[in-house]
Amino acid sequence: MLSTGVWHIEHREPVLLLYGKVCVRWAALDLLLVQILSVALCNSPAARDLIFNGSSFGKNRLDAVNRAIGASRFTEEERSALLALTKKTADLLSARNDIVHAPLVISLSVNGDKIASKLTRISRQGKEHELSIEKIEAHINAIGSVLSDLELLAQDLDLKYDPVDPDDL
């Protein structure tokens, strides 16, 4: 029996901090997608509904975004840039799921007088795969790069298609 009060991963603060970064960055992605779809659809409530209610998980959400972008008023160049970024995001999705959803275990090994620990995740097939701090950090950096590019594009689209009316200021 396992008690969450003594669950070994909870006592690994660096791992928890990295998990938090993964979750925060993927949540930021959802907000950027809402922002972009609000401009694409000319309808903020529909964009929010599509992201937060219409698509229950990552792949479906990205497919819905791609369909909306493909049918949008954006130029071919803008659509291509957005679709390239959603492709990068889709490529990161399985790593995100491995980090966030896979059960983790810490394996201990003894080599002479030294004890070493190894962080592993358990796949759906029951296989153990090493999950290093470096791999999690690399994922954080990869999704951060996509977010930066997406944010710049979202700002450009906002300014182009939904300019600020001076009377609103």
Which string of DSSP letters, residue by residue, matches 67-97? HHHHTSSS-HHHHHHHHHHHHHHHHHHHHHH
- The average pLDDT across 26-49 equals 94
Q: Is residue 126 part of a domain?
A: no
**pLDDT at residue 6 tops 50:** no
Element of type H or E holding 107? strand 104-111
Inter-residue contact 7 to 16 (CB < 8 Å):
no
* pTM beyond 0.85: no
Determine the structural domain holding residue 94 and report its residue range: 22-100+131-162
- The average pLDDT across 55-64 equals 84
Q: Is residue 147 part of a domain?
A: yes
Q: Is residue 106 part of a domain?
A: no
Q: Is residue 114 part of a domain?
A: no
Half-sphere exposure of 111 toward its Cβ, with a 13 Å CA cutoff? 4
Q: Is residue 111 part of a domain?
A: no
Q: In the chain, how many domains are there? A: 1
**pLDDT at residue 32 tops 90:** yes
- Calculate the CA 116 to chain-centre distance: 31
Q: Is residue 169 part of a domain?
A: no
**pLDDT at residue 98 tops 70:** yes
Give the C-alpha separation, 58 to 64, whole Å: 10
Q: 130: pLDDT confidence band, cut at 50, 70 and 90?
A: confident
Q: Is residue 123 part of a domain?
A: no
Torsion of CA 125, 128, 134, 137, to 10 degrees: 30
In the structure encoding, which two tokens stand for residue 78, read together?
A: 């803008």
Q: What pLDDT score does 2 carry?
A: 46
Give the C-alpha separation, 77 to 150, whole Å: 14
Q: 124: pLDDT confidence band, cut at 50, 70 and 90?
A: confident
The more confidently predicted of residues 104 and 1 is 104
**pLDDT at residue 150 tops 80:** yes
Of 29, 19, 15, the closest CA to residue 140 belongs to: 19
- The average pLDDT across 117-136 equals 83
**pLDDT at residue 18 tops 70:** yes
Inter-residue contact 121 to 104 (CB < 8 Å):
yes
Q: What pLDDT score does 99 carry?
A: 85
Q: Is residue 118 part of a domain?
A: no
Average pLDDT, the chain: 86
Q: Identify the weakest region by mean pLDDT among 13-22, 62-71, 133-142.
A: 13-22
One-letter identity of residue 109? S
